[in-house]
Amino acid sequence: MALSAIEVGDLTKDFGGLRAVDRVSLRVAAGERRVLIGPNGAGKTTLFHCITGTLRTSAGRVSLFGRDVTHLPEHRRTALGMGRTFQTSNVFMDLSLLENLVLAIIGTDRRKWVMHRSVGTFEAVRAKAREGLELVALAHRANDAAKFLSYGERRQLELALALNSDPRVLFLDEPCAGLSPSERHSISRMIGELPRDITVLMIEHDMDVALRLADRVTVLHRGRAILEGTPTEVQTNPEVREVYFGHV
Ligand SMILES: Nc1ncnc2c1ncn2[C@@H]1O[C@H](COP(=O)(O)OP(=O)(O)OP(=O)(O)O)[C@@H](O)[C@H]1O
Ligand SMILES: [Mg+2]
């Protein structure tokens, strides 16, 4: 069997008396684009946080690339190749986009960049930063301060920041939330064009975006994974239409 990027077994998360995630199992193959859908409060973000290590699980197991990470803190999972948005706090509003990327690059690879600092190395960092901005179509704003970005452009910058650590698996929680239709289109196109060596697990409410980007879709409802299938299988499933779309 192909290598799994993410493997979750019987994962449960309780908040006091509330079971937000209820014995969810799923396996995402390396290179796959998996989209999580489900109504508000279904447990999607909580499941995400348990996989990334932001939250401790109440029960069950999480593996990344075959390595059991259930008890590893978030930064150790990041070291295994986990990238994620949207940690807005990582954006320095008064610095330019290029400077933000440069800092992020230096931050993720401190030993490589800082211990052997030289003009040549710094040029390499700047070049990588520029590449990162090009990838999310923000190269033309490289010298503008982050505070002058529109909401949609800030999300593009956050995507660049997440990608800058060369993640093997990228977690995106509603990357298109709050965007205009044209911004939504450009972010989803960028996600669609990510190289296939990056596995993507994404929560998405916009059904068009979700079904266009996904190889497979997992439907969460009241903390449980009620269905997994191709976009077509999910779209035509009567139970999903009932719980998610509110009609059959
Ligand atoms: N830190 C927390 N403490 C207590 N309850 C929480 C906490 N985080 C989430 N919950 C509850 O857990 C359930 C699942 O929430 P979660 O945010 O995972 O849902 P979601 O599927 O991401 O919803 P949405 O589509 O609205 O983002 C909800 O009932 C929510 O109120
Ligand atoms: Mg959520």
Residue having the nearest C-alpha atom to atom 5 of ligand 1 = 15
**Cα gap 197→32, rounded to integer Å:** 9
Nearest alpha-carbon partner for 142 in 165, 124, 126: 126
Residue having the nearest C-alpha atom to atom 4 of ligand 1 = 15
| Contacts by residues 52-60 (CB-CB < 8 Å, ≥ 24 positions apart) | 52/77, 52/82, 52/84, 52/171, 53/77, 55/13, 57/11, 57/12, 57/13, 58/12, 58/13, 58/14, 59/10, 59/11, 59/12, 59/23, 60/8, 60/9, 60/10, 60/11, 60/12, 60/23, 60/24
Please count the structural domains in the chain. Answer: 2
Whether residues 188 and 71 share a domain: the answer is yes
Probe target for ligand 1 pocket from 14, 36, 45, with the most ligand atoms within 8 Å of CB: 45
Task: Establish whether residue 143 lines the binding site of ligand 1, counting it when its CB lies within 6 angstroms of any ligand atom.
Answer: no
Whether residues 154 and 176 share a domain: the answer is no
Whether residues 60 and 100 share a domain: the answer is no
Give the atom of ligand 1 at the shortest distance from the alpha carbon of 21.
14
> Among 165, 183, 201, where does a domain finish?
165
Task: Establish whether residue 42 lines the binding site of ligand 1, counting it when its CB lies within 6 angstroms of any ligand atom.
Answer: yes
- For the stretch 132-191, pLDDT in tens is 999 888 999 999 999 999 888 888 898 898 888 788 999 998 888 888 888 888 888 889
Task: Establish whether residue 21 lines the binding site of ligand 1, counting it when its CB lies within 6 angstroms of any ligand atom.
Answer: no
Q: DSSP class of residue 190?
A: H
Residue 7 pairs in a beta bridge with 27, 63
Chain center to CA of 194 = 12
Whether residues 75 and 178 share a domain: the answer is yes
CATH number at residue 61: 3.40.50.300
- 30 with 36: CB under 8 angstroms? no
Q: What is the pTM of this model?
A: 0.88
- For the stretch 64-105, pLDDT in tens is 999 999 999 988 888 888 877 654 456 899 999 999 999 888
Whether residues 145 and 27 share a domain: the answer is no
Whether residues 142 and 152 share a domain: the answer is yes
> Among 144, 165, 186, where does a domain finish?
165
Whether residues 146 and 173 share a domain: the answer is no
Task: Establish whether residue 41 lines the binding site of ligand 1, counting it when its CB lies within 6 angstroms of any ligand atom.
Answer: yes
Whether residues 45 and 161 share a domain: the answer is no
Whether residues 152 and 196 share a domain: the answer is no
Range of the domain at 50: 1-81+167-248
Residue having the nearest C-alpha atom to atom 8 of ligand 1 = 46
- 149 with 137: CB under 8 angstroms? no
Select the more confidently predicted residue: 50 or 91.
50
pLDDT of residue 242: 81
CA of 58 to the centre of ligand 2 (A): 19
Whether residues 172 and 139 share a domain: the answer is no
- The share of the chain scoring above pLDDT 90, in percent, equals 57
